[in-house]
């Protein structure tokens, strides 16, 4: 499988962000990618106006995704990103969507909300309540995660035990004390401890670190983006996964049961 990471700074205008996403889809397809991963919250963002995620939120059949779905028709490129969708209580859901050939083939509502480092995502966003599905891309099984999810190893382990060979992580990783180190450490750990590839794509710009990367199943970074806008390609090798899992059979050697969501 060939993956592409489309890293950019999200603006406050959804039309501008849609144009950028469509351009990245075009370039990823021309580059032979099977999977394009974009950042978290690509519909609209403004550091000076945190309520914009609510004011700009659109349903899944709204104009933003309608444009991207139209662009996706007629080819087999799978594109993944997260967008904010209106929901009850005057809040939004942070929904990771997978688009292919004019359809939304999967959707995952972010489980772990970023109530940390003096921020509180739950003020404007409701959490999801369902384990994300696996998506088949180019014959490989892809598990879905979003940003802060990477700090909770149970989700990555659950996806690996469900059959994931690749984990995707659209993100808007905020700058802060030791945050770049956390990003590289956590994404590498989730890949290595589950012998999966990790495709972690971060928003760049004045608030976020960028630094998108692909980590292989033995913890090796095989592709990295800088702090600025970029489109970076990498090859995912099923034989590398088989080799890692024969050398390091942690999924077979584990003593704990498969993680389950807490009932509320």
164-193 pLDDT tens trace: 999 999 999 999 999 999 999 999 999 999
Give 10-15's long-range contacts (Cβ < 8 A, gap of 24+).
Answer: 10/39, 10/41, 10/42, 10/43, 10/44, 10/45, 10/172, 10/203, 10/205, 11/44, 11/45, 12/44, 12/45, 12/46, 12/49, 12/52, 12/56, 13/44, 14/43, 14/44, 14/56, 14/58, 14/63, 14/64
Mean pLDDT for the stretch of residues 156-170? 98
What pLDDT is stored for residue 263 in this prediction? 80
The yes-or-no verdict on residue 17 having pLDDT over 70 is yes
Q: Give the pLDDT confidence of 71-117 residue by residue, as tens digits.
A: 999 999 999 999 999 998 899 999 999 999 999 999 999 999 999 99
- Where exactly are the structural domains of the chain? 2-247
> Hey, what CATH topology would domain 2-247 get?
Nitrilase/N-carbamoyl-D-aminoacid amidohydrolase (3.60.110)
Measure the CA–CA gap between 202 and 14, rounded to whole angstroms. Answer: 18
Task: Return the H-helix or E-strand segment holding 49.
Answer: none
| Average pLDDT of every residue of the chain | 97
Residue 130 reports pLDDT greater than 90: yes
Share of the chain above pLDDT 70, in %: 100
pLDDT in tens, 43-82: 999 988 989 999 999 999 999 999 999 999 999 999 999 9
- The pLDDT of 14-30, averaged and rounded, is 98
The pLDDT assigned to 63 comes to: 98
Between CA 218 and CA 240 the distance in angstroms is: 9
Catalytic residue among 21, 71, 121, 147: 147
Question: 52 vs 31, 42, 77, 240, 241, CA distance in Å?
Answer: 34, 12, 30, 42, 41
Structure-token pair, residue 200: 């972690």
What pLDDT score does 47 carry?
84
Predicted pLDDT of residue 35: 98
- Catalytic status, residue 40: yes
CA 176 to CA 115: how far, in whole Å?
14
Alpha-carbon Rg of the chain, whole angstroms? 17
Q: Is the pLDDT score of 264 beyond 80?
A: no
Question: How far apart, in Å, are the Cα atoms of 51 and each of 90, 240, 251?
Answer: 11, 44, 42
> What's the pTM value of the predicted model, to 2 decimals?
0.97
How confident is the model over 229-241, as a mean pLDDT? 98
**The one catalytic residue among 21, 40, 165, 193:** 40
Q: Which of 21, 71, 109, 110 is catalytic?
A: 110
Instruction: Clarify whether 110 is annotated catalytic.
Output: yes
**Two structure tokens written together for 47:** 């550091």
User: Maximum CA pair distance of the chain?
Assistant: 50
Question: Active-site residue 55, yes or no?
Answer: no
Candidates 51, 47, 117, 106; CA nearest to 81 is 106
Question: Among 144, 15, 16, 129, which Cα is nearest to 79's?
Answer: 144
Q: What is the pLDDT of residue 116?
A: 96
């Amino acid at each position: 499988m060939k993956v592409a990471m489309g890293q950019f700074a999200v603006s406050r205008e959804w039309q501008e962000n849609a144009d950028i996403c469509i351009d990245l889809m075009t370039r990823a397809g021309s580059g032979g990618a099977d999977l394009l991963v974009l950042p978290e919250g690509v519909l609209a963002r403004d550091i000076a106006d945190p309520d914009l995620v609510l004011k700009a939120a659109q349903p899944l059949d709204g104009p933003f995704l309608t444009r991207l779905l139209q662009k996706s028709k007629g080819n087999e490129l799978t594109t993944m990103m997260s967008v904010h969708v209106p929901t009850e209580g005057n809040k939004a859901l942070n929904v990771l969507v997978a688009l292919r050939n004019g359809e939304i083939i999967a959707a995952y509502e972010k489980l772990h909300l970023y109530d940390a480092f003096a921020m509180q995502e739950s003020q404007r966003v409701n959490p999801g309540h369902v384990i994300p599905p696996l998506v088949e891309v180019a014959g490989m099984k892809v598990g879905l995660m979003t940003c802060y999810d990477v700090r909770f190893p149970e989700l990555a382990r659950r996806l690996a035990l469900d059959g994931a060979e690749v984990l995707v992580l659209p993100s808007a990783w905020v700058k802060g004390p030791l945050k770049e180190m956390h990003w590289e450490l956590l994404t590498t750990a989730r890949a290595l401890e589950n012998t999966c590839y990790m495709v972690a794509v971060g928003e760049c710009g004045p608030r976020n670190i960028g630094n998108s990367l692909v980590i292989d199943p033995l913890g090796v970074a095989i592709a990295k983006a800088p702090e600025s806008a970029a489109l970076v390609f990498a090859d995912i090798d099923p034989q590398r996964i088989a080799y890692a899992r024969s050398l390091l059979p942690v999924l077979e050697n584990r003593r704990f049961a498969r993680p389950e969501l807490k009932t509320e």
